[in-house]
């Protein structure tokens, strides 16, 4: 029996829109569930939205045709898209509220009205309407504008509009909108807009440079923008370099020539910290000298904050938790352990090695986390942004599910739901309740996976930047890390690829093209490819590459399938599509027509039958072919045929199933897993972490006074003369390799290890 959603997808994919629509109508109530990500129908609800849009331009502007879950998003106070509310007439919103008072759309609109002000509101409405018309007029795509509205905030529509605006009249109109002062644009939006407007015939980099030179009123933000968006500056021509030197003269803050190897010896600037006493200390609870299971305790003034609470996946969760708990209590205690002294847990992103122990903390009654009088919230505040919370929901519920069969599960779905409820977003004004004396928090785009953020903490005169995991290189799904402006006193930075040895140093582009070429080769010989991929980020990156390859090779028609945890994660990416790259958005939209999501055993069997006749690619988690996972099933089923291929796409542990299947001696796979590997097996080294040179550049830009390296191999870094650690130390940086349970105190502008 197929679920209604897969039936819906099949009808939709085969162009039977009327029937698909009927199914949707019959099942619309299934889309309401607030907790939709926990269910397999998440993809369907997202596709449903596209379908509704596809079904009629005449109705899609009418809010009544929006699926209910979209409106729930507003009801939850998550208005990110100004455009959506701006373009709906207030009486329409009122009307919806009459039917669904719980949505309170009018309240949302009123809030917006207050923020924008009466006049700005009117102007914004006009501008939004104008932009919509422009998009309608100039777009040659099928139904681009409404999907843009869905996925873009009002401000993000403008650059898109500008791109569509092929004639000077439109460009002039957009300039007018911009100068009408109805917007409070962010860095990205205005710089992009200027880039588009000023030199539409030139290359992207040139346009950015011109944008920097011409956007006088925005000089204050252009530097930080450019610093991050020219990550591949080393590849520029000498003519480019000349232009960049010119920019540097106008905007010395950029210090771009430093990136061309004009090395400067780091000179320690005087500390801005005026207080002589202790204002900051750092204690690693876990994961400072290894890559897994991250958690660090910092003290800022009188506040104690925990950065991440990750699981070391090599240790059973309950045991890992006991270790972390002991370290945490020891670090908190000045005599008597007291968890209540911890003010907040701040989460950088949703990978297991950063969130995996949250449900165990929630469950731990020893630590008196549960405030029984006030319900089931922990006393401690946990903060994460929306995408991270949603990815965490999918990941943690999946692990709870896996543990269900064990005799003593380390945590259950109840713990997961409990801890998820306790997660608040970061405060918009940056003020942390627990921070007295001008304590603030800001989050900065980390470029690692969807939702990944760096955390910038300020207390009195001290500024601390915790990178979480970062990437300085553009990935298909997320833009590279965005540097905050300095000065930074203490940088707590990951260095996964901090040493030179042991890593293949192909550039991202080289990896991508090697992968695509291999895909092309296997498909042309009629083989089917299994791509085991980590569910978060990697699977979506691969889908993007496949989408682009399939579009560029229309002669080679092949099916793309998705299975495993990656399905719900891809749905979460869809839900926050506006935070992914334009590249991914385009690929994802195209995939709507080509991607088949597999959810049931019947569908898996059907898939195996269908691949006999036509080449296909199946992307499935887990990335390391864990026994019992979807990818393992496909690898096992297809490995016997020499025409097929298994393309591994990232890190694999030494004793993993992936390593066995990849090993030169395929007898191992047969002996230990019972898999007879006759197909081609290749390993592509995709990563979401910054390369060594990227980390060095990042530090050179930030010029922090003190650096603590975490999330890397401390031993290897110490020995390798070309490691980030040794290079920066030789350049004169005050740099420390994080170790388990060290405490470091910041005094008079230097870090003193206790």
Interface residues with Zn ion (CB under 5 A)? 351, 353, 469
Nearest in space to 453 (alpha carbons), one of 397, 387, 497, 541: 387
- 354 vs 604, beta carbon nearer Zn ion: 354
Instruction: For residue 672, count other CB atoms closer than 10 A to its CB.
Output: 12
Q: Least distance in Å: CB of 294 to Zn ion?
A: 6
Q: Least distance in Å: CB of 349 to Zn ion?
A: 6
Task: Provide the β-strand partners of residue 490.
Answer: 464, 706
Q: Least distance in Å: CB of 700 to Zn ion?
A: 23
| Placement of tokens 């089923």 in the chain | 637
Phi and psi at residue 574, to the nearest 5°: -60, -40
- 351 vs 632, beta carbon nearer Zn ion: 351
Chain-centre distance for alpha carbon 616: 28
Q: Least distance in Å: CB of 662 to Zn ion?
A: 23
- 469 vs 657, beta carbon nearer Zn ion: 469
- 356 vs 359, beta carbon nearer Zn ion: 356
Q: Least distance in Å: CB of 480 to Zn ion?
A: 15
Q: Least distance in Å: CB of 354 to Zn ion?
A: 6
CA distances, 280 to each of 123, 304, 327, 379, 437 (Å):
47, 10, 19, 23, 14
Q: Least distance in Å: CB of 320 to Zn ion?
A: 15
Q: Least distance in Å: CB of 402 to Zn ion?
A: 20
Q: At CA 183, angle to CA 180 and CA 189, rounded to 5?
A: 115
Q: In whole angstroms, what is the distance from residue 344 CA to residue 388 CA?
A: 16
- 227 vs 448, beta carbon nearer Zn ion: 448
- 519 vs 695, beta carbon nearer Zn ion: 695
| Placement of tokens 């505040």 in the chain | 381
**Contact residues for 552 (Cβ-Cβ < 8 A; gap 6+):** none
Strands (E), 461-555: 462-466, 490-494, 529-532
Q: In whole angstroms, what is the distance from residue 308 CA to residue 407 CA?
A: 28
What tokens were used for 39?
């269910």
Q: Least distance in Å: CB of 448 to Zn ion?
A: 5
Q: What phi-psi label fits residue 214: left (phi over 0), alpha (psi between -120 and 50 degrees) or beta?
A: alpha
Q: Least distance in Å: CB of 107 to Zn ion?
A: 37
CA distances, 198 to each of 166, 205, 239 (Å):
12, 12, 19
**Pairing verdict, β 743-747 and 750-753:** antiparallel
- 353 vs 720, beta carbon nearer Zn ion: 353
- 364 vs 469, beta carbon nearer Zn ion: 469
The single-letter DSSP state of residue 378 is B
- 31 vs 569, beta carbon nearer Zn ion: 569
* Residue 504 exposed, middle or buried by CB count within 10 Å (0-12, 13-18, 19+): exposed
Q: Least distance in Å: CB of 688 to Zn ion?
A: 6
CA distances, 242 to each of 194, 205, 210, 249 (Å):
21, 13, 13, 11
| Placement of tokens 């230097």 in the chain | 750
What tokens were used for 425?
């977003």
- 295 vs 303, beta carbon nearer Zn ion: 295
Q: Least distance in Å: CB of 287 to Zn ion?
A: 8
Handedness of CA 582, 584, 586, 589 (dihedral sign): negative
Q: Cβ distance 472 to 484 under 8 Å?
A: no
Per-residue b/e over 508-539, b at no fewer than 16 CB within 10 Å? beebbeebbebbeebbeeebbbbbbbbbbbbb
Q: Least distance in Å: CB of 451 to Zn ion?
A: 11
Q: Least distance in Å: CB of 293 to Zn ion?
A: 9
- 480 vs 749, beta carbon nearer Zn ion: 480
Alpha helices per DSSP H over 409-475: 413-421
Q: In whole angstroms, what is the distance from residue 3 CA to residue 229 CA?
A: 44
Q: In whole angstroms, what is the distance from residue 309 CA to residue 324 CA?
A: 9
Q: Least distance in Å: CB of 292 to Zn ion?
A: 8
Q: Least distance in Å: CB of 291 to Zn ion?
A: 7
Q: Cβ distance 369 to 339 under 8 Å?
A: yes
Angle between helices 204-214 and 222-229 (to 10 degrees): 160
Q: Cβ distance 706 to 670 under 8 Å?
A: no
- 60 vs 621, beta carbon nearer Zn ion: 621
Q: Least distance in Å: CB of 721 to Zn ion?
A: 26
Q: Least distance in Å: CB of 393 to Zn ion?
A: 17
- 452 vs 656, beta carbon nearer Zn ion: 452
Strands (E), 157-288: 280-286
Beta sheet of 743-747, edge-to-edge order: 423-424, 381-383, 344-346, 303-307, 295-300, 280-286, 743-747, 750-753
Cis previous bond, 622, omega within 30: yes
- 43 vs 565, beta carbon nearer Zn ion: 565
């Amino acid at each position: 029996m197929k679920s209604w959603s897969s039936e819906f997808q099949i009808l939709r994919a085969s162009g039977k829109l009327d029937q698909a629509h009927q199914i949707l109508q019959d099942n619309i109530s299934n889309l309401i569930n607030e907790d939709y990500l926990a269910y397999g129908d998440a993809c369907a609800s997202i596709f449903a939205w596209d379908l509704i849009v596809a079904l009629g331009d005449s109705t899609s502007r009418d809010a009544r045709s929006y699926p209910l879950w979209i409106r729930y998003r507003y009801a939850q106070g998550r208005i990110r898209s100004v455009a959506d509310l701006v373009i709906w007439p207030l009486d329409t919103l009122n009307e919806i509220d009459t039917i669904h008072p719980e949505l309170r759309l009018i309240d949302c609109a009123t809030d917006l009205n207050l923020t924008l002000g009466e006049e700005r509101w009117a102007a914004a409405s006009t501008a939004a309407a104008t932009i919509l018309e422009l998009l309608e007029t100039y777009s040659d795509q099928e139904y681009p504008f409404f999907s843009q509205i869905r996925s873009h905030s009002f401000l993000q529509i403008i650059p898109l509009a500008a791109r569509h605006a092929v004639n000077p009249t439109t460009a002039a109109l957009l300039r007018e909108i911009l100068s009408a002062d109805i917007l409070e644009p962010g860095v990205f939006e205005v710089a992009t807009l200027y880039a588009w407007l000023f030199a539409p015939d030139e290359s992207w980099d040139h346009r950015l440079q011109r944008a920097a030179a011409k956007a006088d009123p925005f000089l204050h933000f252009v530097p930080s923008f450019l610093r991050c968006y020219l990550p591949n500056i080393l590849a520029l021509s000498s003519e480019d370099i000349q232009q960049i030197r010119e920019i540097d003269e106008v905007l010395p803050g950029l210090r771009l020539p430093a990136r061309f190897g004009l090395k400067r010896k780091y000179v320690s600037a005087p500390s801005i910290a005026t207080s002589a006493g202790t204002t900051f200390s750092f204690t690693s609870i876990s994961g400072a000298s290894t890559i897994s299971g991250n958690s660090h305790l910092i003290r800022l003034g009188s506040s104690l904050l925990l950065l991440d609470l990750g699981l070391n996946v090599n240790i059973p969760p309950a045991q890992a938790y006991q270790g972390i708990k002991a370290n945490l209590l020891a670090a908190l205690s000045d005599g008597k352990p007291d968890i209540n002294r911890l003010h907040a847990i701040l989460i950088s992103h949703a990978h297991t090695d950063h969130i995996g122990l949250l449900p165990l903390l929630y469950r731990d009654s020893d630590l008196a986390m549960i405030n029984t009088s006030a319900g089931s919230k922990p006393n401690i505040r946990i903060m994460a942004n929306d995408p991270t919370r949603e990815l965490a929901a999918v990941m943690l519920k999946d692990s709870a599910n896996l543990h269900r069969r064990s005799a003593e599960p380390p945590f259950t779905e109840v713990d997961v739901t409990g801890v998820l409820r306790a997660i608040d977003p970061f405060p918009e004004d940056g003020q942390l309740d627990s921070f007295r004396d001008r304590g603030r928090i800001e989050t900065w785009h980390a470029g690692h996976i969807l939702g990944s953020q760096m955390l910038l903490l300020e207390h009195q005169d001290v500024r601390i930047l915790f990178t979480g995991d970062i990437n300085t290189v553009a990935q298909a799904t997320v833009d590279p890390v965005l540097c905050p402006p300095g000065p930074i006193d203490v940088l707590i930075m990951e260095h996964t690829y901090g040493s030179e040895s042991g890593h293949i140093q192909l550039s991202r582009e080289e990896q991508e093209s090697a992968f695509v070429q291999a895909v092309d080769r296997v498909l042309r010989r009629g083989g089917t490819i299994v791509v085991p991929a980590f569910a978060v980020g990697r699977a979506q990156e691969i889908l993007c590459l496949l989408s682009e390859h399939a579009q560029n090779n229309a002669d080679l028609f092949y099916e793309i399938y998705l299975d495993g945890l990656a399905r719900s994660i891809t749905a979460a990416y869809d839900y926050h599509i506006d935070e992914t790259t334009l590249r991914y958005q385009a690929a994802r939209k195209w995939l709507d027509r080509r991607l088949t999501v597999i959810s049931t055993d019947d569908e898996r069997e059907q898939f195996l039958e269908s691949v006999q006749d036509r080449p296909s690619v199946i992307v499935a988690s887990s990335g390391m072919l864990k026994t019992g996972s979807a990818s393992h099933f496909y690898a096992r089923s297809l490995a016997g045929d020499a025409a097929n291929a298994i393309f591994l796409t990232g890190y694999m542990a030494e004793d993993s199933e992936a390593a066995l299947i990849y090993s030169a001696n395929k007898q191992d796979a047969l002996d230990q897993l019972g898999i007879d590997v006759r197909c081609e097996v290749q390993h592509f080294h995709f990563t979401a972490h910054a390369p060594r040179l990227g980390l060095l550049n990042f530090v050179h830009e930030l010029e922090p006074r003190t650096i603590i390296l975490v999330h890397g191999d401390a031993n290897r870094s110490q020995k390798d003369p070309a490691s980030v650690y040794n290079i920066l130390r030789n350049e004169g940086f005050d740099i420390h390799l994080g170790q388990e349970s060290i405490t470091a105190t910041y005094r008079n502008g230097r870090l003193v290890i206790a």
